[in-house]
Every structure is written in structure tokens, then in C-alpha cells.
Chain A
Amino acid sequence: GEDVEQSLFLSVREGDSSVINCTYTDSSSTYLYWYKQEPGAGLQLLTYIFSNMDMKQDQRLTVLLNKKDKHLSLRIADTQTGDSAIYFCAERKTGRRALTFGSGTRLQVQP
């Protein structure tokens, strides 16, 4: 199967919380990342978490890591229309600089 898997699409209403999920297969992953891609733009790093952490919070963003289940999630509180984008989960494996990306989750925020 794929190294990193994400659901393709998520739709939420403005003001609600969004939760984007990701699963990965390599237990040796050291860092896990969330990137945001707006239409026609490159990828923008949102946040990252080290594999020995289980939670990281940064303003409206909360990252949860369940290393046992190899599951990563990104929660966006008070989702705004400006949060509409594609969100990519990525892992960095031990000894490698390159990242392995999931296929991305398109978040649509309804006004």
C-alpha cells in the first residue's frame, strides 16, 4: 500500500472545527509535517511534529500523533473560508532528507 494515506475530501461549515487524518506505514519516521497548498500556489509548511511527541498546538492548529497506530491528525479550530485548500501530510524517514507525501485532502469551507 501507499506509504502515506489521506482521505481525499472534507467539507465543513465556517466556524466549525476541521479534522484531517493521515496514516503512515514507516515506524522509523522521525518528523511528520502538514503542508497547505492554495490554488495555483506552492506548498506552505503549516506545522510539524517530532515522532516522540503526541501533541503539538500552534494557535488554531492542533496536531495529534498516535505512534502506535501510525496515525496523524490536524485539527483546525474555528475554520475560516481562507482555510480552504489542499492539505498534505508528509513524513521524513530516518537518515533521509526527502519527504514522502500523501495524496492530499481537499478542505472545502462552506460559508
Chain B
Amino acid sequence: NAGVTQTPKFQVLKTGQSMTLQCAQDMNHEYMSWYRQDPGMGLRLIHYSVGAGITDQGEVPNGYNVSRSTTEDFPLRLLSAAPSQTSVYFCASSPPQQGLRDTQYFGPGTRLTVL
């Protein structure tokens, strides 16, 4: 298994541009999520999905869209990039719940800079 993969690893955008950060997992995990990591702060949840066709907002959803057409893929779209979206973005996935235990597997991250 490749685990959780993210592309690209690095991206530079100009203000107002749009782009999609890709996330894929080959572990048949039902739960997927996107976090952003900013200096001096923990990871903050942007959006999450509990299964194909189902998405919901996290703590900081503004400026981002997601979709979940397949179990494997969970892309994050920036419609009109802003400098405040400069961050490192992590995708994570979790297997079907086993009781209350639930471990999340993280991708390597995408470092995004918006000029």
C-alpha cells in the first residue's frame, strides 16, 4: 500500500488563482480529512468526509471546497487563493471505526505559498 499520497509537494500561487490539492489513499478508508498547519499552531480541520458522497465543514472551511466522488480521492479546491491561505496542508484518512479507537494516517503534506 502507498498509504496516503498528496500532490503537489510544493506550490506557489498568485492571489486570485485557483488550484486543487490532490489527496488519495489506497487503504479503503472511509474517513478522510484536510488540515492546515500554520507556524506556532496545531493542525486545524478544514473539511472532512465520512464516506463517498458525504462531506462536512471543519473548523476553518472558508475559502475551500471539497468533494468525495470515490472512496479513494478527496481533493481540496482553493477557488480564489489569498495570502492568508499560505500554509502546509495535510490530508488524513481513518479506517472504519473499531469501537472508539480511531487512528488517523497522514499524508506528507503540500506546502502552499500565495503571493
When A and B form their complex, what is the total count of cross-chain residue pairs whose Cβ atoms lie within 8 Å?
Answer: 56
User: Is B90 among interface residues, defined by CB-CB distance under 8 A?
Assistant: yes
The interface residues of chain B, by DSSP majority, are classed as strand
Residue of B nearest to A43 (CB): B106
Which A30-65 residues have C-beta < 8 A from chain B?
30-31, 33, 35, 41-45, 48, 50
Chain A interface mostly: strand
Interface range, A side = 20 to 34
Residue positions of A touching B, CB distance < 8 A? 4, 8, 30-31, 33, 35, 41-45, 48, 50, 88, 90, 92, 97-104
Chain B residues with a Cβ closer than 8 Å to the other chain, count: 27
In this assembly, does B75 line the interface, its C-beta being within 8 Å of a C-beta of chain A?
no
Chain A residue at smallest Cβ distance from B30? A97
